[in-house]
Structure 1
Amino acid sequence: MRALDVEPAGGICELLSPATVVVPASGDPLAPRAARSPYLRLFHDRGRHELVIDVGPVDLPPHSMAEHSEELVYQLMHVPFDAWVHGYRAELSDAQGARVPRRVLHHIDTTRPAARDLFLPVAQRFVALGAESEAQNLPAWLAGVRLRRGEPLLVSTMLHNPTATPYSGVRVRLVLQYTETRPLREVAGFRVDVMFPTGPMEFDLPPGRTVRSWDGSPAVPARILGLSGHLHRYAEWMELRDLTARRVIWRARPRTDASGEVTSMPVSLPHLGLGRVVYPTHRYRITASYFNPTGHTIPEGGMAKVGGIFTPVAPLPEVAVGDPLYQADIRHLLGLRCDPGGMGGMMAHAAHSE
C-alpha cells in the first residue's frame, strides 16, 4: 500500500474569509494551503483497488470527545485519480493495531463541493458512515460513483468515547473500493434530512413522542437504487413517502439494544435493485419518530436522515457555487471547524448521546 502526499498542518479556515466560498480543486493556487492537515493521509492499494482515507491518530479519554477534535472536522483532500467507487467500509484501530469498538465512531462523512445534491442546490454528500453502518460493496461492473482526478472532497470525522476505557492512537480508515473501468450504471449519493435545508441537523427530544418531517422534490427525474437511514437513541421508525402518489417508498425500524441505542439500520434495494423513479413534479416527505422515555428533555438528542444512491434519468444541473443555499451550506460545514462555537455544539451533541 502506497502513501499519497498530503500537506501537513491546516489552512482550510482561510476559505471562509471571501464573500463567496469556493472550495479549490487541486489545480487552484489555494488548494495546497487549504488541504494541509496533520490528521488526514491517503493510501493507495492498487492491487486491491482500494483508496484509503486515514484519519488520526488521536487519543480518546473515557467519556470524552477525541483530543484535537476540531482538527478532524472537515479536512480537505483531493481525489488522486479518475475512478468509480463501488464499495466502502470503515475500520478503527488503536496505536497497537488492535480493533477499537465501533461505538466510538459517531460519524465519518464526505462531501463533494464540486457536485450538486439531488434534492437541494447544495454540495453533494458522498459516503457517510456511523457506528451502525455496515460495509457495502456493489459488483464493480454494475454501478459506481464517478470521482474525477483533482476533485475536492471534504472529510469530517467525529469520535466520542462513551465507555470507561481509554484508547490511544485511534485511527479511522474509510476504505473506498473502486474500478477504473466505467460500470453499467454511473450513480451518485443523495440524502434528505428532517432538518433541511441547511444548518444544524440535531433537534431536541422532549419527554414522550416527537415526530419530525421535511418535504421536497428532486431537481431531475432519478432512479433510487438503494437507501438506508441514520437515527439516534430512542428512535422508533423513519419513512420516505411520495405525497403526490400517496404511497410509501421506504419505511424502516432501527435495530436497537436494551438501552435504546441504534445498533444498525436496514439497507433497502427497491424493486430488487432495479430502483424506484422519483420525479420533480412529485412532492416527497421524510418522516421520523422518536419516543423519549426518560421524563426529561434531551437537548439535540434527535437526528434523522435518509441517504442512498441514485442514477439520474436526466443530467443533474451544474453546481452553482453562488447560490445562497449552497453558500449557507458550505459556510455551515466549514463553520463546524472554523467557528469557535461550532465544535462546542458538536461536543454538547455528543455528550447528550451517551
Structure 2
Amino acid sequence: MYILLLPLLAAPLAARPFDSLPPARTRVAYEPAGRAVTITVGPFRLPAMGHDHDMMMMMDEWAEDRSDLVTWPADTWLQGFQLRVVDGAGRELSRRLLHHWAVIDVDRRELVYPVAHRVMGGGAESGDVRLPPTVGVPLPAGHRLQAFFMWHNDSDQDLEAVYLRLTITWLPGNLQPRPAPVLPFWADVDFHPGEGGANRYDVPPGGSTRVAEFTVPVSGHLLVLSGHLHDYGASIRVEDAQRGEILARVTARRDADGTVRGVSRELLGLWGPGPHLEANRRYLIVVVYDNPTRTPLTGVMGVIGGLFQPDDVRAWPAVDPTNPDYQRDLAGFLRASTVAMANRTRMLP
C-alpha cells in the first residue's frame, strides 16, 4: 500500500484564496453489505499533452485535482482499495492517465512527518491492494478523507468525460479477533512541506545517488515496502544510518529504454516480523537513478511507502493542525488543486 504523494509544482493564484474554487464533483456510495465505500470523482476533460508533457510538468499545468472532503461513515479496519480510471460509460481507461494520486486523512498525522496522513495512493505504476484479514488500517467514524490526483494524458488525443473511481474495502471495527493494527507510511528523499515542485530534483548524465535522513516517533516493524520512481530510476533502499545496514530495498521494473513500468513490492513481514525501526533512531532513504543520456533528467522523484506495524498504536502521535508543517503541506495540496481547477478546460460542466 502506497502512500504518495506530495503537493507538486503549482504557483498560487494571486487573485484567489486557495480554496476559492470548488473541488471536482464527488459521489460517495456506502455499501455496508459489501463492506465497501466507492468514491467517484469527475467528469474531467483531459487535454492531450503530446510530446510536450515534460515541459508542461515544469509549468502550472502540472497541478492536482481534488475531491470533496468525505466523512468516513463507521468504525472500521481498512482492508484495501481498487482504483479505476473510467469513461462516461464506465469503460476502463489506462491507469497511466494518472501520474499519481493520494487519499489523505486530515484527522491523523503521518509517521515520518507531522502532516496529514496519506491513507493510500500510488503512481501510474502502482497496483491495487488487498490486505490479509489478520491486519487492518484502523479508521474511526468521523475522520475526514480527501483525494488529490494528477492527470497525465501524454497522448495526442483529448479525452472527454473521464472519471476517477476508488473503491475502499473494510472490515467492521468490532471484529473479533481484532486484526493487528498497521498504518501506511511514506518518506521522500527531498520533502519540503507545501513547496510544490521542491520535492523534485535533477539527475546529471551518468546517474546519481540521493540520500535523506529521517526518524520515526514510535517504534515498530516494516511489513511492506514499495516506492515511486520516474524513468531511469533504479532503486530505493532504507538504511540504518548508525550501523550502515540495509534494512530493505525495492527496485524499478524498466523497459530497455529506461521507462519505469513498476516498482517492486517487498513483503518484509511475510516470513518474519520485518525490520524493526526504533523511535528517534536515524535512518536513511537512498534513491538511485541511472542516466545513460547526454542531458540531465529533470523533475524526478524518489519516494518510499508501505505498511508499518507500531509496537503500540496508542503511542502514535496525535495530529496537530496548528503545526506549521501540517498547515504548509495542506495549503500546498489546496494550492495545487486550485491551479488545476482554474483551468476550466479540464473539468466538464
TM-score category (smaller protein): 0.7 to 0.9
Q: 1:342 to 1:290 in 2, by over 3 A?
A: farther
1:243 to 241, 244, 248: 241
One-letter identity of the residue aligned with 1:253: T
Rounded Cα–Cα distance in structure 1 between residues aligned with 2:67 and 2:41: 11
Instruction: Tell me the CA shift for residue 17 of structure 1.
Output: 6.8
Equivalent in the alignment of 1:62: 48
- Aligned residue identity for 1:334: L
The SS at the match of 1:115 is: strand
Indicate if the aligned counterparts of 2:25 and 2:67 stay in contact, CA closer than 8 A: no
- Checking the alignment, whether the CA contact within 8 Å between 1:90 and 1:174 is kept in structure 2 is yes
Cα distance, 1:75 vs. partner?
Answer: 4.3
Aligned to 1:208: 206
| Amino acid of the structure 2 residue aligned with 1:110 | V
Q: 2: CA distance between counterparts of 1:342 and 1:39?
A: 11
Greater shift after overlay, 315-324 or 185-194? 315-324
State the secondary structure of the residue aligned to 2:199.
coil
Alpha-carbon shift at residue 47 of structure 1 (Å): 2.9
- Specify whether residues 74 and 173 from structure 1 end up closer, same or farther in structure 2 by C-alpha distance, changes over 3 A only: closer
User: Equivalent residue for 1:328?
Assistant: 328
Aligned 8 A contact 1:60 1:167 in 2:
yes
State the distance in 1 between where 2:47 and 2:21 align: 28
Amino acid of the residue matched to residue 318 of structure 1? A
Which residue pairs with 1:174 in the alignment? Answer: 166
Give the TM-score of the pair, scaled to structure 1. 0.79
Structure 2: distance between partners of 1:313 and 1:196: 26
Match of 1:335, SS state, is: helix
One-letter amino acid matched to 2:275: R
1:113 aligns to what?
106
Which residue identity lines up with residue 324 of structure 2 in the other structure? P
1:52-111, CA deviations, whole angstroms, 9 ceiling, x for partnerless residues? 121211122332689x98672364222122221111121111123222112111112011
Query: Cα deviation per residue 1:258-296 (whole Å; 9 max; x = unaligned)?
Result: 332221111112142633220024211001111233322
Task: Return the structure number with greater relative CO, CA threshold 8 A, min gap 6.
Answer: 2
Is the aligned partner of 1:299 residue 2:298?
yes
Instruction: Indicate yes or no: 2:43 matched with 1:43.
Output: no
Amino acid at match of 1:294: T
Q: 1:227 aligns with which of 206, 214, 225?
A: 225
CA distance in 1, matches of 2:259, 2:25: 29
Change (3 A) 1:99 1:238: same
How many angstroms does 1:233 deviate by?
0.8
1:279-319, CA deviations, whole angstroms, 9 ceiling, x for partnerless residues?
A: 0242110011112333223431x101111111221311211
The answer to whether the Cα contact below 8 Å between 1:35 and 1:77 also exists between their aligned partners in 2 is: no
* Alignment coverage as a number of residue pairs: 313
Residue in 2 that maps onto 1:23: none
The 1:167/1:52 distance shift into structure 2, 3 A limit, reads same
**TM-score, L = length of structure 2:** 0.81
Q: Distance in 1 between matches of 2:114 and 2:152?
A: 31
Change (3 A) 1:74 1:40: closer
Whether contact under 8 Å (1:90, 1:129) holds in the other structure is no
Structure 1 residue 209: Cα displacement: 0.9
Unaligned 5+ runs, structure 1? 1-12, 19-32, 348-354
